[in-house]
Amino acid sequence: MSSIAERIAQIRKELPDTVRLIAVTKQVSVAAMREAYAAGVRDFGESRVQEAASKQAQLHDLTDITWHMIGRLQTNKAKKALELFEWIHSVDSLKLAQRLNQLATQASCKPKICLQVKLQSDPNKTGWTVPELLNDLPALNQCDRLDIQGLMTIPPLGLNDVEILNFFNQTRNLASNIQEQHWSNLQMQQLSMGMSNDYSLAVQAGATMVRLGRILFGERPTPPQATASESNW
Ligand SMILES: *Cc1c(COP(=O)(O)O)cnc(C)c1O
């Protein structure tokens, strides 16, 4: 089996320069994260606030990492998340956005945000449906302490490649439609989409950030401790 550094080099060769590689390190050891860092990775994605806090403490000597929150965020962990993460990809409701906005005002920070959308109804995923998102745009536009940068999505399980590509293309089109509405506080340049199984399709559809875990670090040891409804994968 190839090393983490070799796998990173291989993926980088495949990705256009414009696509940001986020190494997803949930359940990955700090030692493996150091290997990824040594291979040039500076963007790390975590899905749990507690786990991220512990890893950041152990990696505090690596001062130029950008931390990305990609997992479901409960409002009661929003404050901690703002302290730990520069990016939050998984903002999945107006309520959470408004809470983050309030906390960011108090903390004088301006977190970078992706709005998590689901283009098909999917009981396993949170996020806005298209009509819900369109309805919430005026209120989101008022969250002026949030640096809203684009959309994040995860396709439902069980789609074939054509359907996945179509799903990602629809997400890109939704971002373009919102961009064309010229909201003063909503940027739609970023598309956070693509995981180990489907990142090449996401890149074809215009992803700007791919979130890769298993393809870099191998299979995760166990299913998450989370319940099915909490799980994002
Ligand atoms: C776990 C996870 C990933 C990475 O998935 P892999 O299949 O390991 O590449 C990406 N995005 C989110 C939201 C995740 O929870």
Q: What is the pLDDT of residues 162-203, one digit of tens each?
A: 999 999 999 999 999 999 999 999 999 999 999 999 999 999
C-alpha to C-alpha distance for 108 and 21, rounded to whole angstroms: 28
pLDDT higher than 90, residue 28: yes
> What is the whole-number distance in angstroms between the Cα of residue 138 and the centre of ligand 1?
30
Looking at ligand 1, which residue's alpha carbon is closest to its atom 4?
Answer: 213
> What is the whole-number distance in angstroms between the Cα of residue 199 and the centre of ligand 1?
11
> What is the whole-number distance in angstroms between the Cα of residue 211 and the centre of ligand 1?
6
pLDDT tens digits, one per residue of 65-92: 999 999 999 999 999 999 999 999 999 9
pLDDT tens digits, one per residue of 194-212: 999 999 999 999 999 999 9
For residue 209, list its beta bridge partners. 20, 192
- The b-or-e profile of 88-124 (16+ CB within 10 A means b, else e) is bbbbbbbebbbbbbebbeeeeeebbbbbbbbbeeeee
Confidence of residue 122 (pLDDT cuts 50, 70, 90): confident
Q: Which atom of ligand 1 is nearest to the CA of 195?
A: 9
